[in-house]
Amino acid sequence: MLRRLVILALSLLFLGSVLIYNKMQQLAVQPLQLTDTLFTVPAGASALGLCRQWQRQQLLDEQDCHLLRLTIWLQPELSAVRAGTYRVSADLSLVQLLELFARGEVAQFAFTWREGETLQQTLERLQQADYLQYDLDEQQLLHLLRWPDDWGPMPEVAEGLFFPETYFYTAHSRASQLLSRAHQSLLQHLAASWHLRSLDHPLETPYELLILASIIEKEAGHEPEKPLVSSVFVNRLRSNMRLQTDPTVIYGLENFSGRITRADLNNPHPYNTYRHHGLPPGPIASVSRSSLQAAAEPAETTLYYFVSRGDGTHVFSETLQEHNAAVRRYILGQNNE
C-alpha cells in the first residue's frame, strides 16, 4: 500500500512538474500583445514589478507572475532589467521582453540635419523631435562652439557651424548633445577641406571657406556643377567683382515674399552681395561635404556668370554678353537662336 502511495505521489509530482514546465515554456513564447511600439522601463523597475504592471493591464494573470518567479530562479539574468525606452512588438513574449530589457538594447532615434537648411529651420525641427529634450537658447548655442585658435576670431553667430548628417540618440537625450556632435563633425570636415585648398586660393580663413561653401550649397542643386559654381565665385573674388548671388539677399531679409524684387536687391543689409563686395559676414546655411570640397577646390575656369535653366542645372558664361543671352533665353523666355 505504501509503495502505491509513493508511486502515486511521485507520479503527481512528475505530472505537476511537466505542467509547470509547459506553462513556463508557454510564458517564454506566448506573445504578450503590447499595443505600443515603444515601452519605457523606469529607473528602479524590477522584472516582477513589470509583470504586475502587465497583470493590472490584463495582459497577464497572477499565475503568470508566480511562474515568472520560478523562471527568474532558473534564469537570474532576467531580473537585471535596465531602465530606458525600448522598441517592442506585439509578438514578443514576457520572457523575450525581459531578455531585451536585461541586454539594455534601448531604442535608437534619428534626427537628420539637412543640407542647405538654415539653423533656425533646423532648430524648429529639433523642438519637434521624438524623445529629445530641447534645452537650447541663443546663448547656449554660442557656448557649444569650439573654434581653433589659429582659425581667427570666434564666429559671432552659430549659422552654418553644424554638419548636416543623420545623428542617432536615445530617449531623453538633450538637443545640446546633438548640436555638440554636429559642431565637432563640422570642424573636422572644415579642417580637412581647408587643407585641400591651393596656395593661390583667395580665401584667407577656414571661416571664409565655410561662408563660400554655404553659398555654393544654396546655388548648386546639381552636384556635379558645384566646382563650376565655386569657380565663378572665386574668379569674381579675384577680380574684385561683387558676387551678386540671390541666396545671400534672401537670407538677410526679415520677410521674404518668395520672389526677389528690385527693392530686395537694393536692400543694404550686410548679406546683400549685390550691394557689398566680397563675402557676406557669415554662412547662410548648413553645408555638405561636397560643397566644402568645391569651395576648397574650385574648377579652373574663366567663368564669371551662370543662370538657371529651370531644371536644377545652369548655363555658365565667360562674358556678360553670353550671360545676357542666356538670361533672355532661360529667364525671359526669348529664344534668339
> What are the pLDDT digits (tens) for 116-162?
999 999 999 999 999 999 998 877 788 889 999 999 899 989 999 99
pLDDT-above-70 percentage for the chain: 91
pLDDT digits (tens, 9 = 90+) for 173-228: 999 999 999 999 999 999 999 999 988 899 999 999 999 999 999 999 899 999 99
pLDDT at 9: 46
Instruction: Please say if the pLDDT value at position 12 is more than 50.
Output: no
Instruction: Please say if the pLDDT value at position 100 is more than 80.
Output: yes
Handedness of CA 31, 36, 38, 41 (dihedral sign): negative
Instruction: Please say if the pLDDT value at position 54 is more than 70.
Output: yes
pLDDT digits (tens, 9 = 90+) for 226-258: 999 999 999 999 999 999 999 999 999 988 878
- Residue 80 or residue 13, greater confidence: 80
Distance between CA 111 and CA 174 in Å, rounded?
12
Instruction: Please say if the pLDDT value at position 273 is more than 90.
Output: yes
- Residue 307 or residue 71, greater confidence: 307
Beta 132-133 vs 166-169: how paired, if at all? unpaired
Average pLDDT, the chain: 89
Instruction: Please say if the pLDDT value at position 20 is more than 70.
Output: no
- Residue 129 or residue 5, greater confidence: 129
The phi, psi pair for 4, rounded to 5°, reads -65, -40
pLDDT at 26: 67
Lowest mean pLDDT among 85-94, 135-144, 326-335: 326-335
93 in Cβ contact with 114 (< 8 Å):
no
pLDDT tier at 331, thresholds 50, 70, 90: confident
pLDDT-above-90 percentage for the chain: 69
Instruction: Please say if the pLDDT value at position 269 is more than 50.
Output: yes
pLDDT at 137: 80
Under 8 Å CB-to-CB from 56, ≥6 apart: which residues? none
pLDDT tier at 6, thresholds 50, 70, 90: very low
pLDDT tier at 10, thresholds 50, 70, 90: very low
